[in-house]
Structure 1
Amino acid sequence: MNRSEWPPSGRVGLIGGGEYAGAYLLLAVEINDCWAFYISDDPSLWAVEDLRTDDFWVADADLEGVLAEMAVEWAPEAEDSLLEKAVFDARGEWERRRAKRASRRGRWFRDRRTQV
């Protein structure tokens, strides 16, 4: 997989094999030659206390092998965003964090100008 061509907000797929078969994967490009794996069962089908969830990083060199072992079937791109929101809502959280960081940066620069 090519990091530069991967969508910045990741892709969602259904895991078909291994420990997390039947759960969803949100795969996102991370820093330092790593990919972030966010895993969750569909929360509309399971009680919160029974949900399987996990997250971990995988190095570029190991990515293809891990994905093959998981037998991931990627969601159609047109459904990707809705599925991610229903299962993970990580993109919404990422947007909230970006907005908060931007607000803090703006406040920091405003504070610095008043001190000069």
Structure 2
Amino acid sequence: MPATLRSRALRLIQGLCTEAVKRGYGVREHPMDENYRSRAYGYGGTYIPSRPSRREGELDLVVGDFTYTVTIKQEFPLSEDPDRAQSLMVELSYGRSGRQGKWADR
């Protein structure tokens, strides 16, 4: 993800977390599945540690007894159109509530 887009995504996450805490909700780090981590390796005598390899960020919002995972990601990461490649999407896991669960800046 380009640095400018990553910066926007981090500001969105920060604003979302700030508002959630202000309203009395909990915010937790969403555990990352090990399948989304690179493998540690050595190259030329240098050790390269394992690190996250996803193109999206997730956090958990806790409202009462319910936990909702919020994902912020690049909507079209492989697009060659520069405007389209700058589009972010916020996705909220609702389950089967029938409510809107995705928002994008279009």
> What TM-score comes out, normalization by structure 1 length?
0.24
Between the two structures, name the one with larger relative contact order (CA 8 Å, sep ≥ 6). Answer: 1
Whose radius of gyration is greater, 1 or 2? 1
Identify, as 1 or 2, the structure richer in helix: 1
> What TM-score comes out, normalization by structure 2 length?
0.26
Identify, as 1 or 2, the structure richer in strand: 2
